[in-house]
Structure 1
């Protein structure tokens, strides 16, 4: 009958050298995942060996910043500039093909203080109101140039009642229904 030998209480010189080698590679920028892939050890074993030789561990954010380098910092600064100019996290995510979570993380890395949900809603509402004001002004110019309400509704892909409502909000003096001044739709003056 064979018995399993007892585990040694101290580390062998080979294991100590391995732990010190892993610590040096980690300090020079390799990640735990990269060390595990290179050595064939599990991530838990790598972490255990690094801790046993008192290796200061990086945070996940520090690891990402170190791995990504200046390109990531440049992107984070671009996102910060756009965000502070009024863009939302959702709009930035769509524009850069990133997830909203990644955009928030990059904004945090750039030192951006994120807006509250209420502030974002107010900003979005103000953007929608500015777009609506632009649309109302455009409808008014076309209407005053003689284009009919049904034609404006068709061009803007909305109902005639929406066009009437927007014209009314824009302060347009409405013609009696059915009376257009100009023939075919042309650019307003």
Structure 2
């Protein structure tokens, strides 16, 4: 997958990797900030740091092996850091952080998407003619959660695109 910019190859890649490594080690710039500065994705910046020989297991979790990275992430997670914080600090996608924590033997609870209102209110809104998307927007939830909760409540869903006024 591309960053949207020409790929880094050969001497240019080595030069960018060296510049990224210098900013990272000398100035303590985060992976996310480096990604913005060098117009690359955080995962590309992580790869460039590894190619430049940088190893930082504490906050940035840059290292040659997934086991070492997983152990560092697990240590920080057990110390109170959230998956989102770990992702932001390291530039590792939250799904990959969860996967690495699992490899380190850490049980990460699944996120629960619940609307900020009761299911009865969702049912009332839907039966009054609101669409699933309208309910999701009104409650700050997502479409899938609203749909799942309505089905679990025994509501027969309308054909997509129709409101109760159309029937």
Does the alignment reach a TM-score above 0.5? no
More helix by percentage: 1
Rg larger for: 1
